[in-house]
Amino acid sequence: MLVLLGVLLVVAGFAVGLNPLLVVLASALATGLAAGLSPLEVLAAFGKAFNENRYVSAAWLILPVIGVLERSGLQEAARGLIGRLKSVTFARLMLSYLLFRQATSALGLTSIAGQTQTIRPIIAPMAEAARAVETGVSEVAPAEAQRVRAFAAATDNIGLFFGEDIFLAIGSILLMVGFLEQNGITVEPLQLSVWAIPTAIAAFGVHGVRILMFGRRERPRP
């Protein structure tokens, strides 16, 4: 029962408002010692767990990096680039990004772009700048800016959602293969991936039309 001491430490530490990281570390150390492990063995267990699950913490490292880049003017640089490239319209930018997101997701590269690392700091500011050029204003109105950002975020979501199912080793494909196999239906992952291609093409067409319709509006709605 001594190994449950760690649970008691967690409850007590959170109840008095101590630092969560220190509480968790103290709880893990107490649990390890109560289980008969030496301090070095507990430390080795910590290191092994961190090494095997480092991809979990890696995602959190992106946030401060993006914050530093934005503070250094990343969004302003993205807007300035579009301002100098007069041929880049809102529709062309969004369609290009949609194609890029679907194609890379279909190859299993789902983490090279996303809301945090590309949409907020790069694509959304570029889309706003392109929309400002199209409507002949120096800066889009706040309501219009929100619509542009929503389109940019939706483009990323749609490209990822309908592109990743083409990759045969993605979790959703493997889940369907396992479910069908449990019910006596044998299907190869490649077969499901191939049938995801028409859906991805249809999604590209539907969202592409929405992008073109939005981009051809002469004046932003109030």
Percentages (nearest 5) of helix, strand, coil residues in the chain: 75, 0, 25
Distances (CA, A) of 146 to 70, 101, 120, 198: 18, 21, 12, 31
Whole-prediction pTM: 0.67
Give every CB contact of residue 185 below 8 A, 6+ residues apart in sequence: none
Rounded CA separation 208/177 (Å): 31
Rounded CA separation 134/138 (Å): 10
User: What does 34-48 look like in DSSP terms, one character per residue?
Assistant: HTT--HHHHHHHHHH
Q: Are 220 and 135 in contact (CB under 8 A)?
A: yes
User: What does 80-109 look like in DSSP terms, one character per residue?
Assistant: HHHHH-TT--HHHHHHHHHHHHHHHHHTT-
What number is the average pLDDT over the span 96-113?
A: 91
pLDDT, one tens digit per residue, over 16-43 is 878 777 887 788 888 888 888 888 888 7
Residue 222 in this model has a pLDDT that exceeds 50: no
Q: Are 74 and 122 in contact (CB under 8 A)?
A: yes
| Closest of 46, 48, 54 to residue 27, by C-alpha | 46
| Closest of 161, 76, 81 to residue 115, by C-alpha | 161
pLDDT, one tens digit per residue, over 142-155 is 888 999 999 999 99
Residue 181: pLDDT band (50, 70, 90) is: confident
Asked which of 14-28, 52-66, 103-117 is least confident by mean pLDDT, the reply is 52-66
Rounded CA separation 60/93 (Å): 28
pLDDT of residue 1: 64
Q: Are 208 and 92 in contact (CB under 8 A)?
A: no
